[in-house]
Every structure is written in structure tokens, then in C-alpha cells.
Structure 1
């Protein structure tokens, strides 16, 4: 269910000319692919909560420039197995990570609501951009693998621009690349602080995609599915034609 946008958002949304979106866990169903990969590696995904916890820790170190992405992946795998009492060296961790990564890439895919929403946004005349925290080659490969290489006007990837969400500079880099002011751009992502609040602090319209049913946030508009994004935009953008089958 779409939450009521804050009044400042409602007042200014008519100026919207572009929508930026996060990739992982917003457009792409990362958890499904990652769980599948863990299951192939271990024969079970019962250790998924541990993998999530270790991933949050080590990916944070990558985003903060403490570890290169390739090193982060291997160190994360070492730490994961260490959590169960198995001490493996870097070479063995790299071998297991290669197996896991190959399985995950075979499972890359979009959420069911992603492509219809992107098509609606594009057909409505809005420009599209990606803002993502990831290494360049890896993320571009992922975007191409799911058929989105030609969908976006702009790709802003932290590994290319040297700053990561929620740093305001990455959001402003996207606006500059689009040739628009922050007030003309919305950003949608699954991380409340990293995406929605980060975008809002940079002057964009931050929208939180709360897929997991977490407690609502009062300071940013919230949707629980990308199917709800057209409804939110149509309410304040009468010039954009509604597509009934996408407004649920």
C-alpha cells in the first residue's frame, strides 16, 4: 500500500522529469539469486541469516573503500565459514566464492514488478537513471544480463564516480548527467537511509521501496512494490497518462 507522500513532496512532484532507481533488491531480485547460490554451494540455505549478516558487514567495508570488491568477496566467504568453525585459507575461500558467484549469476533476474514499471516510466516521457553502489564492470554485466542495458539514459555507479550512496555527491552526479536540478528528479530504492533519505538529503524526491514490510517511515513516501510507483506519480503528474493495469 502506498503511503501518503509528505506535503513538500506532493507540492513539488509536478516538476518531476526523471526517475533514478537502485539496482540490487530494487529492480533485481538479489536475495533469490544469492539464496540459490548458497544452496548450490552448501546443499542447503539454512545458513542464509548468517550469510546476510556477514554480507552486510563486508559490503559496508567495500562501500567505505576499506576493501576492493574482489577481496571483499573472498574475505566475506572466509568469514562466513569461520562463523561455523571452519577455518579456510584465502585460496580455498576464493575457489568456493567462484563457485558461489557462478551459481548466483545463473540466477540473476528481475522482480516481476520491475520491467512493467520501467516501461511505464519510459512511455510516460520520464527519463531514467540508475544509481548503484557497486564495482563498474560487475554492475554493468549484471544490468546487461537482465536485459536493461538500453533502458537507462544514465548509469551512475559508485565504482566509477568514487563516491557511494548515501553521499549527496552521487545523487547530484546523476542529476548533472541528466541535465536536471535535484528537484526535478526522484530516486527509488530499497534502503531507507541509503536510498530514500540519502536522495532527500541531496534535494531529490526520495522514495522508499519497502518490500520487506518494515515499519513505515514518516519522513519519506513509501511504496511496497514498484507496481505502486505509477499510482504515486499519477496522483501529482496529471500530464502523465495512467496505465490502469499497472496501477494496483
Structure 2
């Protein structure tokens, strides 16, 4: 069946979250007078992922997951946790300002989207997260003119890999799941989630071992699409 729309994950697919987050962690540790280290950065990402999942499961609000990240991270850096939410929020702002200043798209993102728009293909994003933050990313990294829609889990009230997280965007764009291609970096959440909802899916694996049908760069996508090798 012909592909009539292409949808993308945002973080780690179009948007270079790891580079921005590392810059934010470095700024936070510098502000606190603590040496940065590979181990602390690794811990930050683990804590971030765990608490973001709690936010997606509606166990924590978006602001609460930010506070919880610092409550868990600061002791690992040998630092005390502020006693008030206000002080924790102020400290998180130190991370957030540098994180946002470092926002960038992957170099292959805009060219891939432009090639799809050039053939009249509807293009959108399905992303887990806070709608305002995710749309701000799209705007700031210059991809807004290349996207028709941004569907966040906050907007649809369904987080990937739930089937409805993929089905709502298909209905909104007036395409059937079988006619829709989805690309993402997380195999379980993006690829399996999309396929379980009836979409076609490609795994973008920028650094790891290449599984069958996976791509290492979005530059490979147009050729795969045009050749029909999905």
C-alpha cells in the first residue's frame, strides 16, 4: 500500500536532546561548584528517563518530575537537596536555561523533511511530553515550517507506545494507519508501538548495531520511501 503520510518521533530523532541535556548538566554542576563527570551525566539521563516515565504515567506533574530529578541527582553529586520547592525550581532553571540555549536539530532532520515536503507528503510529529515544551523545540530548531502537525501525549492524552497515541494523529491527518509511516529511535516505544497500531515503522538507530530494516541516518529515508523498501 502506498504511503500517504510520514510521522516522526521528536527527541533523539529530529531533535538532538542528548547534546542539549549534556550542556545543561555541565552548567548545573559548574554552578554548584562540582566537577562534571561521565558517570554523573549517565546518572542524570537515567534519572531523567525514570521520572519522565512517571510523568507520562500521570504519577507526577511535569513540574514535579523536574523536582524529583534534582532530589535524586544532587546526592549522587555529593550535594544537599534544597528544603523548598521554590529553591529546587530555581536550581532547575540553571539547568533549563542552558539546555534550551543548546537546542538543535540533528543535521539530517531538515533535509529529510524538505525532501518529503517537496513531493507533497504530509509530515507530522508524535512525541511524548509537555505540549508547550515540545512545540517550542520544533519552533526553536527551525522545523516548524516543515511540519504539518505536532501531536504530543499531553495534547492527545495518550503516550506512546499506546495504540491510540498513533491512531489519533492518523485520524487527524485523514490517513489510514496502513498508509502511514512512522520513524523513531526507541524500538519498543516507537517502532513496536507504531506497528501494533497498524502503521509501518522504521527504526532510526544512530549509534547502535543495525537491525534488519533499520536506518542510521534520516538521509536514508527518502530513498527507502521512494523505492518502497519498507
> Does structure 2 retain, via aligned residues, the 8 Å contact 1:61–1:67?
yes
Map Cα deviations across residues 123-170 of structure 1 (whole Å, 9 max, x no partner): 122110110001111111111111222322222110111110000001
Q: CA deviation at 1:45?
A: 4.7
4+ long deviations beyond 3 Å: 215-218
Q: CA RMSD in A?
A: 1.5
Contiguous gaps of at least 5 residues in structure 1: 1-11, 238-248
SS of residue paired to 2:168: helix
SS of residue paired to 1:223: coil
**Superposition map of 1:24-173 within 5 A:** 24-43=11-30, 44-46=36-38, 47-89=40-82, 90-173=85-168
TM-score for both structures, normalised by structure 2: 0.91
Q: For 2:129 and 2:47, how far apart are their aligned partners in 1?
A: 17
The number of residues matched between the two structures is: 221
Q: For 2:201 and 2:70, how far apart are their aligned partners in 1?
A: 33
Candidates 223, 227, 230, aligned match of 1:235:
227
Q: CA deviation at 1:105?
A: 0.5
Q: For 2:11 and 2:94, how far apart are their aligned partners in 1?
A: 20
Contiguous gaps of at least 5 residues in structure 2: 31-35
> Does structure 2 retain, via aligned residues, the 8 Å contact 1:117–1:229?
yes
SS of residue paired to 1:53: helix
**Superposition map of 1:205-216 within 5 A:** 205-213=200-208, 215-216=209-210
> Does structure 2 retain, via aligned residues, the 8 Å contact 1:165–1:195?
yes
Q: For 1:143 and 1:114, how far apart are their aligned partners in 2?
A: 11
> Does structure 2 retain, via aligned residues, the 8 Å contact 1:154–1:177?
no
Map Cα deviations across residues 182-206 of structure 1 (whole Å, 9 max, x no partner): 0110010111011011000000011
